[in-house]
Amino acid sequence: MSEKERLTRRDFMSIAMWAIGGVIGAAFGIPAVAYIIGPAARKQEDQGWIRLGAASKVELGSPTLFKSKIEKQTGWITNEEELSVYVLTENGRNFTAMSNICTHLGCRVRWIADQEQFFCPCHNAAFAKNGDVVSGPPPRPLDQYQVKEEDGQLFVLGG
């Protein structure tokens, strides 16, 4: 071997140090990048079907309020929210699920049985039994959820 082709001890140590540094850097760097970018890269998944409760609790012709807790994750933060839904049935088989949030300013509406209306205390808005606007400033009816009954339990889609 000629003098130029021979690897000196200094060159060998330099290459070894760079290689070890690269391995250590990759060992710390790859998980760190995955930790930082992970939540943004994760696909936002739909909440799916949320269980409300037993269908037998719904009185015929009278909206019944159901409350359910759901968890929503935004990045690394997980929030627990309460979903409140009024469920109405006239025949015990077909169900309508409506939000209890007024479409005007987001106040919570409540069912007033003797008036057969939903009432919003913020601006005296009123909604019919089916969620249509009766009076007041709301621009549209109460929001509705897709609802299904399975094994005597009611479920709404999303949240």
Alpha-carbon distance of 113 to 128, in angstroms, equals 11
Instruction: Calculate the average pLDDT of the chain.
Output: 85
Query: 105: how many CB neighbours lie within 10 A of its CB?
Result: 12
Banded model confidence at residue 27, pLDDT cuts 50, 70, 90 = very high
**In the beta sheet, which residues pair with residue 44?**
none
Q: pLDDT value at position 24?
A: 95
Give the lowest-confidence range in 41-45, 69-73, 123-127, 130-134: 41-45
Q: pLDDT value at position 83?
A: 87
Q: Where are the domains of the chain?
A: 1-42, 49-157
For domain 49-157, give its CATH number from 2.60.40.1080, 2.120.10.30, 2.102.10.10, 2.40.37.10: 2.102.10.10
First to last CA, the chain: 74
Q: pLDDT, tens digit, for every residue of 50-66? A: 888 888 888 888 898 99
